[in-house]
A and B are shown apart, each in its own frame.
Chain A
Amino acid sequence: MKNWSRAVRTPLGLTGFGLLALTLFTAVFAPLLWGHQATSFDTDNMLAGASAQHWFGTDNLGRDIFFRVLVATRLSIALAVSATAISVAVGIVLGSAPMLLGRWLGRPIIGLVNTVVAFPGLLLVLFFAVVFGVGAQGAVLAVGFAGAPVFARLCHTLMAGVAGRDFVAAARVSGVGSGRILIRHVLPNIAEPLMVNATIGAGGVLLSFAGLSFLGLGVQSPAYDWGRMMQDGLTGIYVHPLAALAPGAAVIIAGLAFNLSGEAVARSLGVQIDVPWRAAVTPRRRRAPAAGARTGPDTDTDLVLDVRDLRVAFPHGDAEISPVRGVTFQVHRGEAVGIVGESGSGKSLTALAVADLLEFPARVDAERLTFLGADLRDGTGHRHLLGTSLAVVFQDPMTSFNPAHRVGAQLAEAARAHQRATRAQAWQRAVDRLRAVRIPDPRRRARQYPFEFSGGMRQRAMIGMGLMGTPKLIVADEPTTALDVTVQRQVLDMLQEVRAADGVAVILISHDVSVIAEVCDRVLVMYAGRVVEDLPAGELADGARHPYTRALVAAVPDMRSDIDAPLATIPGQPVDPAHVPAGCAYAARCPLADDRCRAQDPPLRTAADRSRVACWHAGEPLPILSDLAALEVDA
């Protein structure tokens, strides 16, 4: 019931329950208060229009339409609620058949229910109207039985969900009968969703009923509900439109009351909050370059990518958070640069920003962001350049292909879009590229859909997609994380091969230090949205100077690791981008941290060998592991 009271407090719930209360109030009190006005004949004012005396005019016997609409609320609601009750009751009986009668009897019943559900409700209503006959009673039964299959299916689904739970299994093991399990254990657990659906259903039933009465198959004179009134009013719509429109409006309002109330509760049962993190929308124009930015011509002809002071920000409530806070690096022709860091370190956002794939509400700022000399900050002008020269390989090959198109077509369209290839040429190249990434039988495979490919093949096909143009840079965002180890190897080899053959630069994002060490020339270590160390990959093992890099390297198990000892981990939690501490972001987890680290953020300083590190204690010896454990105990 908590959900119901919470639902009332939402705007939707407030409207819904407000209307519902008004409707029910009218249903209860209108016949008592205005029953007389609704049936008394005003023979001087037959079929009169709206007046001060009769707000909505009168019908052909001079009865006041406004009051008749109000008084009809009771019958309309009562009939709808009774029919809904029948639907739910019959639905529960049918839906619990597999549980009570066993599979052999239950399954055909559910099969029948599923077949009947495919027919629209109104057809079923008409069918049962034939069986039960014309009139209010027949109509209640007809509408009630017609609604039963929907509830039967719902009950069956809900019950199947509950039946697998532990307490039901426990009750079954301890010998409790099916009937008792149903009443004591299952029904209470499905009551809430059932009530929500019944509330929404009652709105639909109300409309069905109005429809049936409108057709003349429901309520008969002298009784009247809204549908009946509409039917009576329609014939005189030229003379007196309100007679048909007023009950129509009542039907809509009452229907909405049930719908919105149910809807509001349904929403509060399963709240979804939209987090714009892994966001992807159309690109937004970036800010003008900051004053004093160096935008001189490139003298370095081998430079593929030049990034200076890259920042990525997201709106967070009223403020903004910056998961990437000033990243600077360059990538040269044929070079493989790895970016490592824990989840949330900003490495993937950096990659997406570089590939110009971050969208609203993400905001990308940089002092400089050039790819092959083109300034990527100035919006969408570089579509063809990026489309042919920059390839992206994503983390999960299972979800990165469009399930609705053939693999070959997904490769070919890149050539069609950027290289003006004909359909046949593009297809030929797609087959050729699939062959290049060693997809067996590429001609046949190109005609297949992604779901017919294995994970490793898809990831190779994804690389093949990047090779449709003449890439100068491949951005690979955790390309092997979703794959098993032997397949990882194939994909990494493939990247190496492409790089060696065409001098393509690679940015490889990974949280796996060993992958980076193996594939890359240079490594950027990121922590809390910053580069904390930049060093040659060969020096990772014993030349790392930042305590974080050394902790990452130490956390990689190898053949010499003591398999009985617990795996080495980095103590503490990564930094929450919404609460970046003053000073060095790593200080809270660092065994070398002192007061200076906690107060002042160390700048990224370039050493003589062009490696970079941001640490006040770079290269200082670390306390050995046992001391580290002691340190943790102290804290």
Chain B
Amino acid sequence: MSATPAAAAEPGRATAWWQNRWVRFAARRLLRLLVSLWVLVTAAFFMVHLVPGDPVRAALGPLAAADVVAARRHALGLDDRLLVQYWHFLRDLCTGQLGDSIGTQLPVGQIIGQRLPATAELALLAFAVAMAIAIPLGAAIAALTRHGRARRTELAFAGSSVVLGAVPDFVLGVLLVFVFAVQLHWLPVAGRDAPSSYVLPVLALAIGPAAILSRIVRVEMLAVLDTDYLRTARAKRLSGLRIHLVHALPNAVTATLTLSGLLLGSLVAGTVLVENVFAWPGLGSSIVGSITNKDFPLVQGTVLVYGIGVLLINTVVDVALAVLDPRSTIGVD
């Protein structure tokens, strides 16, 4: 990365606003978000049309009368040409209309509105817990076990993190229920009411990502601790705490952040399984039912919400990355 931006190389010359690093970065990132959003919306639209056969017939069952099917088709606008349907879909989406659930006849937006908070809460809590475990743990293990010191600590960490990282969240959830709810009676088995009911679902979601992330943090931290600029920091005789926290950690975490974004995304998806283990009243427990019942408007809406959530997370991570490591604002897409 030896590039010296033209703007910086010539001191004193005023630069146009569109040449500003941050403006260009924001424009590029926004464009990417919009493209991804369009892919998501289009995919959600075509999902229903990709279902083999007639989705309405599939939803209403083989015994439904032909005129009922025809009426429902008409009501859903499935008689129109595909492009017209696509246009209507986009238009309704822009005005926040997601249609009505076939099963309950309630507006999809209302169902999602009721269930989204529970899911978001679960995912964000789990992410916070995963980061709070992974970053200090990985960094500490790296600092303690460099150059083959404390071999046993390293082995114990490596072994347990591999195993915990490989346990799928719903299996872990079942295991946690068995140990802490069935055997020890410390925590409730399921539901979402008292704060104690949050512990197991959050842990079930967080432990796997925490194990994987802490390994990454460790590797990154080890690499950063060997860099020339860390030697410079030591040459300044800063305190060990400052060397590790101010000089090493931000650089170790930047590389980790990209991955943690992916992990948070998969954590959002993981809520589907964990919610089903703990009967958590979120989107995850409703989407399964709506897939089996072929409640397509509800599925479409839920998929959109999950997808948008993931896109927003990725964007936030990129922005955080740019703030932590300004070099990431340069470069081509």
A530 to B166, CA, bound (A): 53
As a 0/1 sequence over residues 208 to 228 of chain B, the CB contacts with chain A under 8 angstroms (1 = contact) are 000000000000000001111
Which of A297-305, A382-390, A484-492, A503-511 faces chain B? A382-390
Within 8 Å by CB of A280, from B4, B36, B225, B306, lies B225
Interface band, chain A: 35 or more
Q: Contacts of B178 on A, CB cut-off 8 Å?
A: 237, 241, 244-245
Q: Contacts of A111 on B, CB cut-off 8 Å?
A: 35
Closest CB-CB distance, A163 to chain B, in whole Å? Answer: 19
Query: Do A404 and B324 contact each other (CB < 8 Å), given the known contacts A126-B303, A216-B292?
Result: yes
Q: Which A residue's beta carbon lies closest to that of B46?
A: A131
Q: Are A214 and B324 in contact (CB under 8 A)?
A: no
Q: List residues of A (211-244) whose CB comes within 8 Å of B's CBs.
A: 211, 214-217, 230, 234, 237-238, 241, 244
Within 8 Å by CB of B36, from A118, A394, A401, lies A118
Q: Contacts of A123 on B, CB cut-off 8 Å?
A: 268-269, 303, 306-307, 310
Question: Does chain A have a CB within 8 A of B81?
Answer: no
Question: Does chain B have a CB within 8 A of A550?
Answer: no
A449 to B5, CA, bound (A): 12
Q: Are B236 and A414 in contact (CB under 8 A)?
A: yes
Q: List residues of A (407-423) whose CB comes within 8 Å of B's CBs.
A: 410, 413-414, 417-418
Q: Are A245 and B174 in contact (CB under 8 A)?
A: yes
Query: Do A278 and B291 contact each other (CB < 8 Å), given the known contacts A215-B276, A414-B236?
Result: no
Within 8 Å by CB of B171, from A203, A248, A282, A417, lies A248
Question: Does chain A have a CB within 8 A of B95?
Answer: no
Question: Does chain B have a CB within 8 A of A398?
Answer: yes
Closest CB-CB distance, A457 to chain B, in whole Å? Answer: 9
Question: Does chain A have a CB within 8 A of B205?
Answer: no
Among B3, B143, B232, the most chain A Cβ lie within 10 Å of the Cβ of B232
Q: Are A248 and B175 in contact (CB under 8 A)?
A: yes
A386 to B239, CA, bound (A): 12
Among B1, B143, B146, B236, the most chain A Cβ lie within 10 Å of the Cβ of B236
Q: Are B269 and A122 in contact (CB under 8 A)?
A: yes
Q: Contacts of B148 on A, CB cut-off 8 Å?
A: 274, 361
Closest CB-CB distance, B187 to chain A, in whole Å? Answer: 14
A392 to B235, CA, bound (A): 6
Q: Contacts of A404 on B, CB cut-off 8 Å?
A: 250-251, 254, 324-326
Which of A170-178, A251-259, A567-575 faces chain B? A251-259
Within 8 Å by CB of B242, from A126, A211, A417, A440, lies A417
A129 to B291, CA, bound (A): 8
As a 0/1 sequence over residues 239 to 273 of chain A, the CB contacts with chain B under 8 angstroms (1 = contact) are 00100110010011001100110000000000000
Q: List residues of B (159-202) whose CB comes within 8 Å of A's CBs.
A: 162-163, 166-168, 170-171, 174-175, 177-178, 182, 189
A398 to B232, CA, bound (A): 12
Q: Contacts of A164 on B, CB cut-off 8 Å?
A: none
Question: Does chain A have a CB within 8 A of B78?
Answer: no
Question: Does chain B have a CB within 8 A of A55?
Answer: no
Closest CB-CB distance, B211 to chain A, in whole Å? Answer: 13
Question: Does chain B have a CB within 8 A of A279?
Answer: yes
Q: Contacts of B230 on A, CB cut-off 8 Å?
A: 280, 402
Closest CB-CB distance, B147 to chain A, in whole Å? Answer: 5
Q: Are A211 and B8 in contact (CB under 8 A)?
A: no
Closest CB-CB distance, A188 to chain B, in whole Å? Answer: 31
Q: Are A383 and B237 in contact (CB under 8 A)?
A: yes
Question: Does chain A have a CB within 8 A of B51?
Answer: yes
Query: Do A360 and B147 contact each other (CB < 8 Å), given the known contacts A215-B273, A255-B168, A451-B327?
Result: yes
Q: Which A residue's beta carbon lies closest to that of B265?
A: A120
Q: Which A residue's beta carbon lies closest to that of B300?
A: A130
Among A126, A210, A278, A405, the most chain B Cβ lie within 10 Å of the Cβ of A126
A256 to B250, CA, bound (A): 32
Q: Are A403 and B229 in contact (CB under 8 A)?
A: yes
Closest CB-CB distance, B51 to chain A, in whole Å? Answer: 6
Question: Does chain A have a CB within 8 A of B62?
Answer: no
Q: Contacts of A462 on B, CB cut-off 8 Å?
A: 232
Q: Contacts of B246 on A, CB cut-off 8 Å?
A: 405, 413
Among B5, B174, B175, B270, the most chain A Cβ lie within 10 Å of the Cβ of B174
Q: Which A residue's beta carbon lies closest to that of B231?
A: A280
Closest CB-CB distance, A459 to chain B, in whole Å? Answer: 12
Q: Which B residue's beta carbon lies closest to that of A383?
A: B237
Question: Does chain B have a CB within 8 A of A165?
Answer: no
Q: List residues of A (444-468) whose CB comes within 8 Å of B's CBs.
A: 444-445, 448-449, 451-455, 462, 465
Q: List residues of B (274-333) whose CB comes within 8 Å of A's CBs.
A: 276-277, 287-288, 291-292, 296, 299, 303, 306-307, 310-311, 314, 324-327
Closest CB-CB distance, B33 to chain A, in whole Å? Answer: 10
Closest CB-CB distance, A213 to chain B, in whole Å? Answer: 11
Question: Does chain B have a CB within 8 A of A281?
Answer: yes
Question: Does chain A have a CB within 8 A of B2?
Answer: yes
Q: Are B269 and A121 in contact (CB under 8 A)?
A: yes
Q: Are A130 and B51 in contact (CB under 8 A)?
A: yes
Closest CB-CB distance, B100 to chain A, in whole Å? Answer: 18
Q: Contacts of B47 on A, CB cut-off 8 Å?
A: 127, 130-131
Within 8 Å by CB of B167, from A252, A260, A392, A413, lies A252
Q: Contacts of B277 on A, CB cut-off 8 Å?
A: 234
Question: Does chain A have a CB within 8 A of B234?
Answer: yes
Q: Contacts of A386 on B, CB cut-off 8 Å?
A: 237
Question: Does chain B have a CB within 8 A of A25?
Answer: no
Q: Contacts of B314 on A, CB cut-off 8 Å?
A: 118
Query: Do A452 and B266 contact each other (CB < 8 Å), given the known contacts A245-B175, A357-B235?
Result: no
A266 to B273, CA, bound (A): 30
Question: Does chain B have a CB within 8 A of A115?
Answer: yes
Q: Which A residue's beta carbon lies closest to that of B48?
A: A130
Q: Contacts of A417 on B, CB cut-off 8 Å?
A: 236-239, 242
Question: Does chain A have a CB within 8 A of B43?
Answer: yes
Q: Are B262 and A120 in contact (CB under 8 A)?
A: yes
Q: Are B35 and A252 in contact (CB under 8 A)?
A: no
Question: Does chain A have a CB within 8 A of B96?
Answer: no
Within 8 Å by CB of A127, from B43, B146, B250, lies B43
Q: Are A237 and B177 in contact (CB under 8 A)?
A: yes
Question: Does chain B have a CB within 8 A of A109?
Answer: no
A606 to B269, CA, bound (A): 76
Within 8 Å by CB of A211, from B143, B170, B327, lies B170
Question: Does chain A have a CB within 8 A of B50?
Answer: yes
Closest CB-CB distance, B82 to chain A, in whole Å? Answer: 16
Question: Does chain B have a CB within 8 A of A526?
Answer: no
A570 to B326, CA, bound (A): 46
Within 8 Å by CB of A118, from B175, B303, B310, lies B310
Question: Does chain A have a CB within 8 A of B73?
Answer: no
Question: Does chain B have a CB within 8 A of A169?
Answer: no
Q: Contacts of B273 on A, CB cut-off 8 Å?
A: 122, 211, 214-215
Q: Are A402 and B233 in contact (CB under 8 A)?
A: yes
Query: Do A355 and B229 contact each other (CB < 8 Å), given the known contacts A123-B307, A215-B276, A451-B327?
Result: no
Q: Which B residue's beta carbon lies closest to that of A394?
A: B228
Q: Are A451 and B3 in contact (CB under 8 A)?
A: yes
Query: Do A355 and B325 contact each other (CB < 8 Å), given the known contacts A126-B291, A130-B299, A215-B288?
Result: no
Q: Contacts of B11 on A, CB cut-off 8 Å?
A: 440-441, 444-445
Q: Are A118 and B325 in contact (CB under 8 A)?
A: no
Among B12, B146, B149, B177, the most chain A Cβ lie within 10 Å of the Cβ of B146
Closest CB-CB distance, B172 to chain A, in whole Å? Answer: 9
Within 8 Å by CB of B288, from A217, A399, A401, lies A217
Closest CB pairs A-B (n = 10): A387-B237, A122-B269, A120-B266, A392-B235, A120-B269, A399-B228, A452-B8, A248-B171, A402-B229, A207-B168
> What are 16 sample pairs from A and B whose C-beta atoms fall under 8 A apart?
A120-B268, A130-B303, A203-B166, A207-B168, A255-B168, A260-B162, A280-B226, A355-B235, A361-B147, A387-B238, A403-B251, A404-B250, A404-B251, A417-B237, A445-B11, A451-B1
Known: A118-B265, A355-B235, A357-B235. 15 other contacts (CB 8 A): A115-B36, A118-B36, A119-B265, A119-B307, A123-B307, A126-B291, A131-B50, A260-B162, A276-B147, A280-B230, A402-B232, A403-B251, A405-B250, A417-B239, A449-B326
